[in-house]
Amino acid sequence: MKPRKIAIFTDAHGLFEPTQAALEDMRKRGITEIYSLGDNIGVGPNPKEVMDLLEENGVVSLAGNAEEYVTLGIEPFASYFHLAKTKSQLWTISKLNEHQKGIISLFPRSIELLVGGKKIGLCHFANDVRFDFESHSTWTYQSQIDNGLPGYEQFYHTNSPQQLQYMEGMIKKYGKDSPMMRGIVSAYQEPLFQRKRVDFFDAVIQGHVHWKIYEKADSTDFYSLRAVGMAYQKDPIDTAFYVVLTEKEEGYDLEEVLVKFDREKMEYSILNSDSPDTTIQKFTSMKR
């Protein structure tokens, strides 16, 4: 019997060409168990096409914050949104059809896998992006690491008694029907990892950060994956990225995969898009 192979990618952000290249490579390898860790849409020029691509390839997707903006609205994220980001989000929603919005509303926030006897938690980010995006964010995570400290420690706040107390207090104060409370109410009713703490898992695999950060805690390995189509630091900029978990009798091997894609076509799509979001245009000016 062939070993189980699982492909995982993250943060497509409406970039069609690298997402397509990654999925084609998975198909050539015969991989059919494929997970996206969310943020399939937002910022990039092809949200509809990326959503179609994921559906055609049977990808199981998690909700990232970009999907939460669709299902929960922008009110819970008022402190995070500004005028340009609001215009970008409204543009993204205008490109999605009702079928796609319905699919997005069904995305789970986390998935638990058992691979080679190891418990693996998949999520967009191990702090709940529906509401815990200020005290515990990708920026605080990276800041800890930049200062030589373990970034993963902030993930222990998720599903802690302190977090639960905060959520209950906010719901009591503002009421569960307040638009600004949609994120907290959603997280309270459908908690990340069914309210398990991150140290329940042997490994947590997440996205959101956009570049690779791997850390080992006493009981848990934390893998933050590079975005599928965005290259940073020393990554070759014309490559898509994903990982493959190959199951063993005990545990698994994690393989990083880089796939060439048509970067010029992606740049053309970005530069000729009518999206009001210009943040993605930095990827058209990077030198090869």
Q: What angle do CA 21, 26, 32 make, to 5 degrees?
A: 135
In whole angstroms, what is the distance from residue 182 CA to residue 131 CA? 9
Q: What is the pLDDT of residue 199?
A: 98
Q: What is the pLDDT of residue 288?
A: 44
Please count the residues of the chain.
Answer: 288
Q: What is the pLDDT of residue 231?
A: 78
Structural domains in the chain, CATH included, are: 5-284 (3.60.21.10)
Q: What percent of the chain has pLDDT over 90?
A: 90
- Whether the CB-CB separation of 202 and 183 falls below 8 Å is answered with no
Token match 């975005």: residue? 227
Phi, psi of 109 (to 5 degrees): -90, -20
Tens digit of each residue's pLDDT, the chain (288 residues): 788 999 999 999 999 999 999 999 999 999 999 999 999 999 999 999 999 999 999 999 999 999 999 999 999 999 889 999 999 999 999 999 999 999 999 999 999 999 999 999 999 999 999 999 999 999 999 999 999 999 999 999 999 999 999 999 999 999 999 999 999 999 999 999 999 999 999 999 999 999 899 999 999 999 999 999 987 767 788 999 999 999 999 999 999 999 999 999 999 999 999 999 888 877 655 554
Phi, psi of 198 (to 5 degrees): -65, -30
Mean pLDDT over each residue of the chain, to the nearest integer:
95
Q: What stretches of the chain adopt beta strand conformation (E)?
A: 5-9, 33-36, 60-61, 110-115, 118-123, 203-210, 213-216, 221-226, 239-247, 252-260
* Alpha helices (runs of H) in 106-210, residue ranges in sequence order: 138-146, 161-174, 182-189
Q: What is the pLDDT of residue 237?
A: 87
Q: What is the pLDDT of residue 287?
A: 53
Phi, psi of 224 (to 5 degrees): -100, 120
Radius of gyration over every alpha carbon of the chain, rounded to an integer in angstroms? 18
